[in-house]
Structure 1
């Protein structure tokens, strides 16, 4: 029997962990699971030692306040994994906690794997030395991440991205518009000004003013905003981005909104990857505080901030950052995407090619890599 010690620290990790467990059971039925996970992982057979929500702490102040508890949990899990005689420990995301635990367990001779790379390729690249000492294998969602680790002599397997499995290669714009009550013939712009309060404060007014300029060119332009939650919806309404001002505001449904759109205006992050997997042309724009911008310029080591450009290793997506992100520049960059179907089709085909590159059965690939480490190191 193979004993796998899994540690997920967030709900997103619970979902990934459940998929990994299903794939491991399919490849090697004589297997047992223990560690930390949520309801999905427990449903797949995980004997969870700590409630997942005890680890899922967000924000600097909250993390500092809970440091003694986190140190205690890590010590407890280390002793539990050793007492259980696990063959391998798999940390799922949650890198600050999991990589330290992995390093402690690896020092005892246990095999370790980390699933989901931290953004070490973008900033604080010196962390890779600690990662090299912590894991026998890193499993990455994105191909450029794997290239980074190979260059730094860290054993790595690119497994593909689970989102690429969820979103279809052939999207249905008409069906999405029908579900959202949008016109079949009008130009449609999806606007995603961020999921955090500060992102809304810094970016939404600029996005709103860019929409006003676009509507001078096309008064029939329909604009759909998938609000991250009710708080963000209220903040958008206070800025004049609500139904009364001609915006279709949704509760979530970001994928559907982007599928229904001709083009997308968004801040960076996972939303840019989702827009790419919906095969929609986009403009990435991001404004933040001057001090944050100054620090980012000195810390970030990549030529782009959006995942589509990083995956393609070239600029497919226009990025307008800080002072470059004016309403006039956003409108001018978006208009050709809204106006010209040929341009939309060309970008869409490029995004489909990248979609295929990421669509390679992430859970099964990850499971095979874990078993390979158990058997061969």
Structure 2
């Protein structure tokens, strides 16, 4: 039997784990004699990954926030490089997590190993000169969004737009009625989904203000003799416990003007069941858009990070729906703007005609991103290896 193809692959957070899992599944389909080692989560483990450390070791965000984790990240980096020096991969794929993965890719490329970076770093948004670091680290960049291609063409760095797996897996049209039935929610009940993020720091920064906004929204519907339902998907057990504690503390002094359900994961189901969404900035906003649900996007970060981003960040928008639409399709709120009154002011109109107007625009963007991404990404990786041999 021929020697198994060895793919090194690392993802640093749940969104990357999902992308990597789909790519690995397709690689397994196209080449059954294959094995994977690196770092990943449940989706990658399900495809046969041998993970060197827990993926949570890499799940950190922000210019300032990463500093406290730096010693541990450096130890993991050396552990990974030692592993791949002993067990040399035929190709290495870094999935997102550019601050970590580009360092790994640079060393491995210098060793003669073909490297792929899946999910373009935001060179189109800030720190454009990183493109030179990317060129040094990778043989190929696989990108999720069409607007990224121009900067790679400008610097003559190999890039392929493969689309997004979420666009492939989410139907173009779904009214959410079957989901509501499964969740035991009446078809006519107003439903708000709260997605305060998958990280502990995000939930601590956003959830309480989200609950206060839900209370104001619930009061609005109480006047109309309706009862608001709030859905909160928990990314994992730790986040679920955190959400429960914050909600219970809030409810002790604030009789709730809404019903609620906290789900184990099921973010997509919560989005599809919702009329409107209050959401942390990130990949989840793309999922909400692909589910055709109107949203208010909010984010809080460390003060120094926000100060630095004010100088470094180039685009007018930070949420993916607005970046993909190249206009202000959804409300974006940052820092002090993220307060209950402000959130509710923008949220309540989304339960009416404003929300319906966005559905067709979101559908058009969805069709642009629907490219069978897993298959295209796997073919690009295997082509890179075959060309090099």
**Normalising by the residue count of structure 1, what TM-score does the alignment of the two structures yield?**
0.84
Instruction: Give 2:280's aligned residue.
Output: 267
Query: What is the number of residues matched between the two proteins?
Result: 368
Q: Deviation digits for residues 274-309 of structure 1, max 9, x if unmatched?
A: 211110111112344544432332232322111111
Instruction: Give 2:177's aligned residue.
Output: 174
Corresponding residue to 1:141 among 134, 141, 144: 144
CA distance in 1, matches of 2:87, 2:270: 45
Instruction: Give 1:331's aligned residue.
Output: 344
Q: Deviation digits for residues 152-182 of structure 1, max 9, x if unmatched?
A: 3321111111222222222132112222222
Instruction: Give 1:5's aligned residue.
Output: 7
Identify which range, 310-319 or 118-127, moves more after superposition.
118-127
Instruction: Give 1:223's aligned residue.
Output: 229
2:140–2:158 contact (8 Å) kept in structure 1: yes
1:248 lines up with 2:248 in the alignment: no
- 5+ residue gaps in structure 1? none
Identify which range, 254-263 or 34-43, moves more after superposition.
34-43
Alpha-carbon spacing, 1:353–1:241, altered in 2? closer, same or farther (3 Å): farther
Aligned-pair CA distance for 1:137:
0.7
Instruction: Give 2:52's aligned residue.
Output: 51
Identify which range, 238-247 or 146-155, moves more after superposition.
238-247
What secondary structure does 2:251 align onto?
A: coil
CA distance in 2, matches of 1:102, 1:109: 11
What secondary structure does 1:279 align onto?
A: coil
Q: Deviation digits for residues 221-268 of structure 1, max 9, x if unmatched?
A: 413131422112211321239996123131233222221111112221
Aligned-pair CA distance for 1:26:
4.3
1:224–1:247 contact (8 Å) kept in structure 2: yes
CA distance in 1, matches of 2:20, 2:333: 36
What secondary structure does 1:169 align onto?
A: coil
For 1:316-327, list aligned pairs within 5 A. Answer: 316-327=329-340
Instruction: Give 1:132's aligned residue.
Output: 135
1:280–1:348 contact (8 Å) kept in structure 2: yes
What secondary structure does 1:183 align onto?
A: coil
CA distance in 1, matches of 2:330, 2:156: 31
What secondary structure does 1:304 align onto?
A: coil
**Normalising by the residue count of structure 2, what TM-score does the alignment of the two structures yield?**
0.81
CA distance in 1, matches of 2:304, 2:101: 30
- 5+ residue gaps in structure 2? 61-65, 235-239
Instruction: Give 2:296's aligned residue.
Output: 283
Identify which range, 180-189 or 56-65, moves more after superposition.
56-65
1:74 lines up with 2:86 in the alignment: no
1:17–1:92 contact (8 Å) kept in structure 2: yes
CA distance in 2, matches of 1:222, 1:314: 30
1:78–1:101 contact (8 Å) kept in structure 2: no
